[in-house]
Amino acid sequence: MPHLFLNEKSCETTADPDRVNRAMTELVRTIIAVARVDRPGTVLVAREPVNALRLAEDHPIAKWIGTPGAKELWQRLLLMQTKYPHEDAYPDGETFSDVAYSHDGVPVTGLGAAHLMGGAGVSLKLDSRWDADRVTLQREELLDDEEAGGSALSEVHIPHAATREHVETHLPWIREEVQAALKNDLSGIRTGAELWERCPDLFPHLRFLPHVEAQIRELKQYWVHPVRKRLAEMDHAVEVWDAASEPEGPLWGSTVTPEHGARKREYCLFTDLDGTDQYFDTHLRFTPGAGRLHFRFLQVDRRAHVAHIGNKLGI
């Protein structure tokens, strides 16, 4: 199960103390419900240590700990893996300074971190906004193209839970992640070397320029799953592509953007498999960080050639 990121905005209310305590009790039971399915993989990530959490204004966590029945839940929470602040869950050296998230116009660090790291958000149910098994966020990301400048806005969705009922909707996903870690299937691939060895069988509609082998073999562990996912989406898109209804090319399964101007000329020219120099300016993104996958689609051959998998070109 991916990390559970505590939504700090759900802890900034002025709710009645009894209501705050009930919401915290339910939240801990919610986290425990996830841990029952995936004990090793369940990690709570918050902006501060759990023993220093403020559940609401003038309501430190100690007030909840002193309520009837809370002590056992508190002890179970302490036995779980926890991290703080949210950024501690990021890969070494990552700051994600080019990306910001908000909900209803208000910045949300924890929920944004959940999206960046492929995790889930958890909240105290003290506001109707957090009584949901999925939450929609607004994402703003600085554009790569220095000539265009500005930023790109988009909506993203993350799994979310504030009650045990919300967890029920995510159980298939949680169990799939657990089983994938135990089986040697596509989702269970854990290293770049494993991914490369299986590329010919897993992605028959993709071809890789020679230097890409080293890029895949040497992938950082936190990029293996995102890259695997992007390659699988690409291969499927080529397989189901209908030239008549999609004359511009396949629907790639995620946002595809081109490089323009100086960046295209400086960074995107590669020698293709037939020995000709070609621009591979079309790219997909993957996170965490500025992960980029550059490729070109060959309609006649009905396959995609991949020229780069790694950091944004030029950095």
Same domain (yes/no): 243, 126: no
Q: Are residues 36 and 129 in the same domain?
A: yes
Confidence label for 184 from pLDDT (cuts 50, 70 and 90): very low
Query: How many CA atoms lie within 13 Å of 163's alpha carbon, on the beta-carbon side?
Result: 12
pTM of the model: 0.68
Helix (H/G/I), strand (E/B), else coil: 138: strand
The sign one gets for the Cα dihedral 77, 225, 156, 116 is positive
* Residue 196 or residue 191, greater confidence: 196
Residues 70, 211: one domain?
A: no
* CA distance linking residue 305 with residue 303, whole number of Å: 7
Percent of the chain beyond pLDDT 70?
Answer: 93
| CA atoms within 13 Å, Cβ hemisphere of 33 | 18
Same structural domain for residues 151 and 64?
A: yes
Q: pLDDT (tens digit, 9 = 90+) per residue, 117-145?
A: 878 999 999 999 999 999 999 989 776 55
Judgement on whether residues 209 and 271 belong to the same structural domain of the protein: yes
Q: Can you tell me the distance from the alpha carbon of 113 to that of 89, in angstroms, rounded to the nearest whole number?
A: 8
Predicted confidence (pLDDT) per residue in 272-289, tens digit:
999 999 999 999 988 777
Q: Which residues pair with 10 in a beta bridge?
A: none
E strand map for the chain: 4-6, 43-45, 54-56, 59-60, 81-83, 99-103, 106-107, 120-122, 134-142, 151-161, 206-208, 256-258, 269-271, 277-279, 282-286, 291-298, 303-311
Averaged pLDDT of the chain = 89
2-45 confidence digits (pLDDT tens): 689 999 999 999 999 999 999 999 999 999 999 999 877 789 99
Residues 243-251, mean pLDDT to the nearest whole number: 88
Asked if the model's pLDDT at residue 263 lies above 90, the reply is: no
| Residue 155 and residue 10 share a domain | yes
Domain of 139 in residue numbering reads as 4-182
